[in-house]
Chain A
Amino acid sequence: MIEVKALTKNFGKLRVLKGVNISFHKGEVVSVIGPNGSGKTTLIKSILGMVIPDSGEILLDGKSINGQWKYRSKIGYMPQIGRYPDNMKIGQVFSMMRDLRTDATAPDESVLNSYKLPSLFDKTMRTLSGGTRQKVSAALAFLFNPDILILDEPTAGLDPLASEILKQHILEAKSQGKCILITSHIMSEVDELADRIVYMMDGEVAFDKTIKQIKEETGEERLGRAIANLMKTEHHA
Chain B
Amino acid sequence: MLKVTKYVIYDIVRNRVLIAYTLFLLLIATSLFNMEEDPSKAIISLMSIVMIMVPLISIVFATTYFFNSYEFIELLVAQPLKRSTILLGEYIGVALSLSFAFLAGIGIPILLFDATATGFVLILSGTLLTLVFISLAFLSSVITRDKAKGIGTSLMLWFYFSIIYDALILMLLFTFSDYPLEQAMIPIASLNPIDLGRIVIMLKLDISALMGYTGALFKNFFGNAMGIFYTCGIMFIWIIVPLLCSIKVFNGKNL
Interface residues of A (CB under 8 A from B): 11, 45, 48-52, 69-73, 75, 77, 79, 83-88, 96-97, 99-101, 103
Residues B226-255 near A (CB distance < 8 A): 252-255
Known: A51-B254, A100-B3. A85 touches B79 (CB 8 A): no
**Size of chain B's interface in residues, with CB distance under 8 A?**
23
Verify if B198 is at the interface (C-beta below 8 Å from A): no
Determine if B81 and A50 form an interchain contact, defined as CB atoms under 8 angstroms apart.
Answer: no
Determine if A100 and B4 form an interchain contact, defined as CB atoms under 8 angstroms apart.
Answer: yes
Determine if B3 and A50 form an interchain contact, defined as CB atoms under 8 angstroms apart.
Answer: no
- From B253, which residue of chain A is reached at the shortest CB distance? A52
Verify if B82 is at the interface (C-beta below 8 Å from A): yes
Known: A69-B83, A100-B81. A50 touches B255 (CB 8 A): yes
Q: Which residues of A contact B24 (CB under 8 A)?
A: none
Contact segment of B69-77, B102-110, B172-180, B182-190 = B69-77
Determine if B79 and A87 form an interchain contact, defined as CB atoms under 8 angstroms apart.
Answer: no
Known: A70-B80, A99-B3. A45 touches B255 (CB 8 A): yes
- From A53, which residue of chain B is reached at the shortest CB distance? B254
Determine if B254 and A69 form an interchain contact, defined as CB atoms under 8 angstroms apart.
Answer: no
> Which of A79, A96, A103 gathers the greatest number of chain B CB atoms within 10 Å?
A96
Considering the chains assembled together, what is the distance between the CA atoms of A224 and B7 in angstroms? 46
Determine if B80 and A77 form an interchain contact, defined as CB atoms under 8 angstroms apart.
Answer: no
Q: Which residues of A contact B14 (CB under 8 A)?
A: 87
Known: A11-B254, A100-B3, A100-B4. A85 touches B69 (CB 8 A): yes
Interface residues of B (CB under 8 A from A): 3-4, 7, 11, 14, 69-72, 74-83, 252-255
Considering the chains assembled together, what is the distance between the CA atoms of A103 and B75 in angstroms? 17
CB distance from A149 to the nearest CB of B (A): 13
6 A–B contacts, CB within 8 A, in A order: A45-B255, A48-B78, A72-B81, A83-B71, A85-B75, A86-B71
Determine if B74 and A72 form an interchain contact, defined as CB atoms under 8 angstroms apart.
Answer: no
Determine if B74 and A83 form an interchain contact, defined as CB atoms under 8 angstroms apart.
Answer: yes
- From B15, which residue of chain A is reached at the shortest CB distance? A87
Q: Which residues of A contact B252 (CB under 8 A)?
A: 52
Known: A51-B254, A85-B69. A71 touches B80 (CB 8 A): yes
Considering the chains assembled together, what is the distance between the CA atoms of A100 and B86 in angstroms? 11
Determine if B82 and A69 form an interchain contact, defined as CB atoms under 8 angstroms apart.
Answer: yes
Q: Which residues of B contact A45 (CB under 8 A)?
A: 254-255
Determine if B11 and A50 form an interchain contact, defined as CB atoms under 8 angstroms apart.
Answer: no
Determine if A50 and B76 form an interchain contact, defined as CB atoms under 8 angstroms apart.
Answer: no
CB distance from A60 to the nearest CB of B (A): 12
- From B14, which residue of chain A is reached at the shortest CB distance? A87
CB distance from A88 to the nearest CB of B (A): 8
Q: Which residues of A contact B74 (CB under 8 A)?
A: 50, 79, 83
Q: Which 3 A/B pairs are nearest by Cβ-Cβ distance?
A: A73-B80, A83-B71, A72-B80
Q: Which residues of B contact A79 (CB under 8 A)?
A: 74, 78
CB distance from A87 to the nearest CB of B (A): 7
Determine if A84 and B82 form an interchain contact, defined as CB atoms under 8 angstroms apart.
Answer: no
Determine if B3 and A77 form an interchain contact, defined as CB atoms under 8 angstroms apart.
Answer: no
- From B75, which residue of chain A is reached at the shortest CB distance? A84
Considering the chains assembled together, what is the distance between the CA atoms of A96 and B8 in angstroms? 11
- From A100, which residue of chain B is reached at the shortest CB distance? B3
Determine if A85 and B71 form an interchain contact, defined as CB atoms under 8 angstroms apart.
Answer: yes
Q: Which residues of A contact B253 (CB under 8 A)?
A: 52
Considering the chains assembled together, what is the distance between the CA atoms of A65 and B3 in angstroms? 24
Considering the chains assembled together, what is the distance between the CA atoms of A48 and B254 in angstroms? 11
